[in-house]
């Protein structure tokens, strides 16, 4: 990986900027989520009932809901039409929590935003959103690009097999395209999410909180896209620099 262009250029051009972007995005999303997970949304439902309510309100009655372990692991799986709610989000609507006025289940602003975002993805899938369709189309190639491509580039550079290295570049380019196609898909789901929750009472400060959570989550995808692009450009310099 470091041959041809040298280790120092890789550190300065890829590792440092990529690490800074990733750390900033991770800090932003976790700190924002933590802040708004302590603020009551005013919605007296548990996470699964709320997800079902939003799905049904959008005509997505065929989408199933399942729990998934972890925090910020919520996602919509278009292949099986399943919306998965993380244990952290589900716990916030499981019953009474300190600071709430009564013992009924309540959801935090952060949980409402996260669930509504995933419902947004389900709605994108149902409507045939072109960006989402494109993302799903390139998933197999992108998966190869993020795992096998770097090794093809390294082998091609070391053994002077330019054709092998170029194949690696093509596969990695697909992974880069995937990260950039993901951006409008994620931002589009966030716009839908805000439209879903505002009529339910998330206005004013609560709406600002939901917007902050979704914006912070969006930064993780921006960071991933920029890091992938920087890595791709470095691989290009390795492959074609090694031919001199």
Distance CA 242, CA 244 (A): 6
Residue 99 is predicted with a pLDDT of: 47
Identify the pLDDT of residue 3.
Answer: 44
Q: How many CB atoms lie within 10 A of CB 160?
A: 10
Axis-axis angle for helices 109-127, 162-197 (nearest 10)? 120
Query: What integer pLDDT is reported at residue 179 of this predicted model?
Result: 95
pLDDT (0 to 100) of residue 4? 45
What stretch of H or E contains 77? Answer: strand 75-77
Token output for 171? 């596969």
Q: How confident is the model at residue 17 (pLDDT cuts 50, 70, 90)?
A: confident
Q: Give the range among 65-79, 85-99, 162-176 with minimum mean pLDDT.
A: 85-99
pLDDT higher than 80, residue 161: yes
63, 146, 193, 237 from 161: Cα distances, Å: 48, 20, 49, 15
Confidence at residue 9, expressed as pLDDT on a 0 to 100 scale: 58
Nearest-angstrom CA–CA distance, 208 and 99: 20
Residue 172 backbone class (left: φ over 0; alpha: ψ -120 to 50; beta: rest): alpha
Q: Where does the pLDDT of residue 95 fall: very low under 50, low under 70, confident under 90, or very high at 90 and above?
A: very low
Label residues 66-84 b or e (16+ Cβ within 10 Å = b): eebeeebebbbbbeeeebb
User: CB under 8 Å to 14, separation ≥6 — which residues?
Assistant: 227, 230, 231, 234
**Average pLDDT, integer, range 172-180:** 94
Q: Is the pLDDT of residue 163 over 60?
A: yes
Residue 14, pLDDT score? 61
The pLDDT value recorded for residue 210 is 95
Q: Residue 94: is its pLDDT beyond 80?
A: no
* pTM confidence score: 0.85
Cα–Cα distance, 70 to 132 (Å, whole number): 25
Give residues with Cβ within 8 angstroms of 62, minimum separation 6: 81
**Mean of pLDDT over the chain:** 86
Is residue 133 over pLDDT 90?
yes
Q: Picking from 107-121, 165-179, 194-208, 230-244, which range would have the lowest pLDDT averaged per residue? A: 230-244
| Positions marked catalytic | 118
Structure tokens at 228: 């992938």
pLDDT tens for each residue of 190-215: 999 999 999 998 889 999 999 999 99
Position 230 confidence tier, pLDDT thresholds 50, 70, 90: confident
pLDDT of residue 105: 61
């Amino acid at each position: 990986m470091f041959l041809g262009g040298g280790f120092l250029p890789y550190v300065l051009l890829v590792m440092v900027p990529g690490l800074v972007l990733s750390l900033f995005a991770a800090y932003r999303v976790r700190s924002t989520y933590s802040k708004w997970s302590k603020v009551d949304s005013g919605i007296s439902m548990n996470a699964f009932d709320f997800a079902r309510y939003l799905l049904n309100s959008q005509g997505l009655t065929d989408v199933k809901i399942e729990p998934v372990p972890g925090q910020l692991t919520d996602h919509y799986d278009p292949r099986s039409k399943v919306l998965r709610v993380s244990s952290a989000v589900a716990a916030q609507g499981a019953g009474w929590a300190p600071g709430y006025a009564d013992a009924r289940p309540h959801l935090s602003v952060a949980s409402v935003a996260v669930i509504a975002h995933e419902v947004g993805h389900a709605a994108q899938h149902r409507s045939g959103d072109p960006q989402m369709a494109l993302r799903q189309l390139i998933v197999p190639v992108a998966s190869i690009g993020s795992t096998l491509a770097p090794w093809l580039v390294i082998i091609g550079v070391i053994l002077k097999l330019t054709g092998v290295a170029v194949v690696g570049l093509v596969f990695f380019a697909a992974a880069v395209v995937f990260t950039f196609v993901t951006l409008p898909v994620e931002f589009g789901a966030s716009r839908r999410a805000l439209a879903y929750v505002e009529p339910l009472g998330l206005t004013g400060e609560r709406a600002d909180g939901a917007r902050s959570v979704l914006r912070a989550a969006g930064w993780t995808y921006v960071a991933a896209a920029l890091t992938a692009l920087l890595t791709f450009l470095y691989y290009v310099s390795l492959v074609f620099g090694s031919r001199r």
